[in-house]
Structure 1
Amino acid sequence: MPLLEASGVSKVFGKLTALDGAALTVGENEFHGLIGPNGSGKSTLMKCVAGAEVPTTGKVSFINTDITAFTPTERARAGMSLKFQITSVLPTLTLYDNILLALQAQCSLIDLVFSRTRRALHEQVMTMLTQFRLADRAHDAAATLSHGQQQWLEIAMALAGKPRLLLLDEPTGGMSLEERRVTGELLQPIKQHCSLVIVEHDLDFIRDICDRLTVLDQGKVLASGTVAEIQSNKSVQEIYLRRA
């Protein structure tokens, strides 16, 4: 049984058809990449999965439940987490407090009212900062981080709720080559407990970390399969790689 299954997903904006019957299937503990030329519908499909956009037609199922009409909040409660390309960390707060707030979002109101969470969550905060190589910056303001480090902090925050599925939209945009390499290393351990859908333009990066790829072109799925299958697909070579 797939963890995530989107089928026949179309999205029309006025006279523009951004998606035309697109499909996406993601299994448990799978890293799945969405690739395609600019304007192919990658981010729109991601938003339809996350609930930021409602499909014009089609269905999205998550953990065997139809979530097509679910709000983003309802999808988050079901076990889905999303990080868009633009970072949304709180720049004036420390890294520690950014992670703490993300963890506190999962706590009960009574625990928050009686301030029971900061001490109880300290170990989890430090574990997450350590996992993303940010522990030595725990008490620095998030605004002092490099662009890549801010992306790592936000990914850590997105994982605070222990989602079953993490959605990343171009996480390496604006990163240096070294930051991209480290990002791949930081993501690998989460496969033990979380699947990943990632939109990315860096083909070398996405090939290195993903188990399967779906290629979109002009709102339609051009091909879907393992990395090796996509690399050898003549349609992808002729249409996607030529236009990328």
Structure 2
Amino acid sequence: MVLLEARGLVKTFGKLTALSGADLTIADNEFHGLIGPNGSGKSTLMKCIAGAEIPTKGTVSFGGRDITNFSPAERARAGMSLKFQITSVLPALTLYDNILLALQAQVSLVSLVMSRSRGILHDRVMAMLEQFRLADRSADPASALSHGQQQWLEIAMALAPEPKLLLLDEPTGGMSLEERRVTGELLAPIKARCSLVIVEHDLDFIRDICDRLTVLDQGGVLDSGSIAHIQSSARVQEVYLRRA
């Protein structure tokens, strides 16, 4: 089943055209990678999907609904979650409270006022921390984590509301090789309940976790298909050789 469908997305900023008719289709429980040279339009496409930017032309549908003009909050309520490149955890709060806040966004105002949500959500908070190998640090401030661990915490926060689609923009940036390997292991189990769109420059990482890839160049889709198809694509090879 198709979960997300973007058709003919154009995004202009004054005289600059960042997207020039890009298409993207994401199926249920699919891991889909966006790759391409710097300036190819990857992050702009991601922002148009997430609602951080509204496309100049084109449409975005999610779960069969036209969400082209939805706000980021409306898209989140529909089941979409996003993690941008820059880590946005709350460093003074504990890991536990960072996850709790992500979950409390779904809780009614009455439960928050009555202070019932902490007890109700405790098991879910600890399950997310356990999934991302952070349970033993639950009482530590987020500022005490390594860069890689902070990235894992933010991915856990994005997954806590149980979205249908998770958008990750360069989640392994600044990580060590070992942290990148572990990140792949941590993401693999979510496929059973969530689709993923990921922008990533580490081609080995994205190849290992994704089912399909879409390659962008100069704001348009150069090619899209399975890992094997993209690896053998003469068009893709020509672009990467040209930019090398």
TM-score, normalised via structure 2 length = 0.99
2:110 counterpart SS class: helix
Structure 1 match to 2:185: 185
Q: Which amino acid aligns with 2:54?
A: V
Q: Is the 8 A contact 1:212 1:225 kept in 2?
A: yes
| 1:59 is aligned to 2:83 | no
CA distance in 1, matches of 2:57, 2:118: 44
Equivalence for 2:124: 124
Residues 6 and 58 in structure 1, CA contact (< 8 A), matched pair in contact too: yes
Which residue of structure 1 lines up, in the alignment, with residue 222 of structure 2? 222
The separation in 2 between residues aligned to 1:225 and 1:240, in whole angstroms, is 17
1:160 to partner: Cα distance: 1.1
Q: For residues 242 and 236 of structure 1, what CA distance do their matches in structure 2 show?
A: 10
The Cα offsets for residues 165-196 of structure 1, whole Å up to 9 and x where unpaired, read as 00000000000000000000000010000000
- What are the Cα deviations for residues 190-224 of structure 1, in whole angstroms up to 9, with x where unaligned? 00000000000000000000000000000010000
Q: Distance in 2 between matches of 1:31 and 1:172?
A: 16
Deviation at 1:54, TM superposition (A): 0.5
How many residue pairs match? The answer is 244
Letter in 2 for 1:151: Q
Give the match for residue 21 of structure 2.
21
Deviation at 1:47, TM superposition (A): 0.2
Q: Secondary structure at the match of 2:61?
A: strand
Q: Does the 8 Å CA contact 1:217/1:240 hold for their aligned counterparts?
A: no
Query: What residue is the counterpart of 2:151 in the other structure?
Result: 151
Q: 1:111 to 1:241 in 2, by over 3 A?
A: farther
CA separation of 1:46 and 1:241: change in aligned 2, threshold 3 A: farther
Determine what percentage of the aligned residue pairs are the same residue: 79
CA distance in structure 2 between the aligned counterparts of 1:51 and 1:126, rounded to whole angstroms: 30
Structure 1 stretch displaced more, 117-126 or 33-42: 117-126
Show the counterpart of 1:238.
238
Aligned equivalents of 2:21, 2:201: Cα separation in 1: 22
Q: Provide, for residues 39-82 of structure 1, a one-character-per-residue CA deviation record: whole Å limited to 9, x for no partner.
A: 00000000000000010100000000000010000000000000
Q: What residue in structure 2 maps to residue 8 of structure 1?
A: 8
2:210 corresponding residue in structure 1: 210
Partner of 2:39: 39
The residue number in structure 1 matching 2:201 is 201
1:101 is matched with which residue?
101
CA distance in 1, matches of 2:107, 2:234: 50
- Residue 242 of structure 1: CA displacement? 4.3
Match of 1:76 in 2: 76
Task: Judge which range, 115-124 or 89-98, deviates more.
Answer: 115-124
Contact 1:85 1:169 (8 Å CA) reproduced: yes
Shift of 1:86: 0.3
For 2:32, give the aligned amino acid. Answer: H
Gaps of 5+ in 1: none
Q: CA deviation at 1:240?
A: 2.7
- C-alpha separation in 1, matches of 2:58 and 2:194: 25
SS at 1:110's partner residue?
A: helix
Aligned residue for 2:89? Answer: 89
Q: Deviation at 1:241?
A: 4.8
Q: Take 2:121 and 2:63, find their aligned partners in 1: how far apart are those partners? A: 28
2:94 and 2:188 map into 1 onto residues whose CA distance is 26
Give the secondary structure class of the aligned counterpart of 1:87. coil
Question: Which structure 1 residue ranges, 4+ long, deviate > 3 Å from structure 2?
Answer: none
SS of the equivalent of 2:68 reads coil
